[in-house]
Amino acid sequence: MRPWAARWLAPLAIAVVLLAQLAPPAHALRAREPRPPLTSIVIDAETGKVLSQDGADVQNHPASLTKMMTLYLVFEALAQGHIRLDTQYLVSANASEQSPTKLGVEPGESITVHDLIFGMITRSANDAAVVAAEGLAGNEDAFVERMNAKARALGMTHTVFRNPSGLPDPEQVTTARDLVKLARALYHDFPDRYPYFSTEEFVFRGAILRNHNHLMEHFPGMDGIKTGYVRASGFNLAASAVRDGHRVIGVVLGGPSPAARDEVMASLLNQAFGQQANDPVLALNEATDNAEARSFIERGSGPILNSLAPIASAQAAEPAPKLRSGDTALSREPHGETHWGIQIGAFAERPAALRAVKSAFDKLASLKNKVVEILAPTRLDRLYRARIVNFTAKEAERACEQLRERHTACSVVPTGVVHVAEAR
């Protein structure tokens, strides 16, 4: 090498080394990738009226909120009689090889539709979503065609599905507005299945799988529905809550963290209910309402009232949840099909739940001889759920329809077997 070349190349080499040392590592570059914008929408569940929105038409990736559509198509097949909860589907190699989270089922195994539903709702299991897709449509591609056709039918004009689970795919996109349409359709089209979304835990082959939607544990009135996350989307949440018989549904996409996403959702829902963080429902005076509560309970011609704890745990391979050892059971299906109820709302204080039920009875004379259940809070849920039970499915749907006509929101729920906390 000539001397003049050495004089120029030596400093250049030193500069290259220094630049290499100063350059951020690859993981730091990934961390600086632009975060998706935080977008949201909240609607009235009954009317569909938009109560608030921010960037609701900005596209993002749905992540596991995709499973809401997969579940919609499963519920639709159940409603049409094409499948039953105890229908068994074979697990393919493709399904078993899905990335976590998943149930961990193996190729050649069989799994019930019931278990697939609760696996998707609580565990957000990707293998369960693929098993359901292949079972219903024969293969994933055919199922995805159904997903997109249903999205168009529901008016989800800015949504494209590419898989049934929500695993990363750059072409799988949606908006907050489209997802709130889907959430509302689940509530209206399948009122008998919608309570599944409030399941706190699912016991599958001895393992307890807990719901990822932890905001349900803290926000008064929330009873579902789904969380989602991939790196490209941020933290997503579709949520439904009811207070004083009024239900709202919200979607938040692109949260920077689960806590931040939940905080935004709680704030938006409180605003939608016209309440601040110091929710007046939480501040009800128990002593003030005791006389009214006693009067309602003790009316000779009034309904029988039971105070019950909700079913918090779904068991694998069973159409209805089982009781835990040591619990007392009160069956709601002793004579055929009268194991349905209508839920009027969820409340932070028991007297508020009683008042909501009393209001429903005052508006609808046909409820006179029905049984009232006030579902007591569990360790994960500080809410009292107000229900009127002992209907057939058709009776419950008709009663709920009549209450809605009288401006009282409600939902049809299967009662099945419950845990007795207190009875009168």
Is the pLDDT score of 125 beyond 60? yes
Residue 21 lies in a domain: no
pTM here is 0.64
* Same domain (yes/no): 305, 257: no
* Same domain (yes/no): 157, 183: yes
CA distance 171 to 163: 10
Supply the range of the domain harboring residue 364. 284-423
CA distance 90 to 95: 10
* Same domain (yes/no): 317, 253: no
* Same domain (yes/no): 160, 235: yes
* Same domain (yes/no): 267, 288: no
The lowest-confidence range among 46-55, 325-334, 374-383, 390-399 is 325-334
* Same domain (yes/no): 251, 338: no
* Same domain (yes/no): 263, 332: no
User: Domain with 382 in it: what CATH number?
Assistant: 3.30.70.1070
* Same domain (yes/no): 340, 402: yes
User: Domain with 65 in it: what CATH number?
Assistant: 3.40.710.10
Residue 57 lies in a domain: yes
CA distance 144 to 38: 27
Tokens 């009663």 belong to which residue?
Answer: 399
Radius of gyration of the chain, Cα coordinates, nearest whole angstrom = 25
Give the count of beta carbons closer than 10 Å to the beta carbon of residue 150: 17
Identify the pLDDT of residue 48: 93
Q: What is the pLDDT of residues 26-70, one digit of tens each?
A: 444 444 557 899 999 999 999 999 999 999 999 999 999 999 999
Total tally of structural domains belonging to the chain: 2
State the catalytic residues.
64, 67, 124
Residue 13 lies in a domain: no
- Look at residues 161, 189, 164 and name the one whose alpha carbon lies nearest to residue 45: 189
* Same domain (yes/no): 266, 288: no
Identify the pLDDT of residue 255: 95
Boundary of a domain, candidates 248, 273, 298: 273
Identify the pLDDT of residue 411: 81
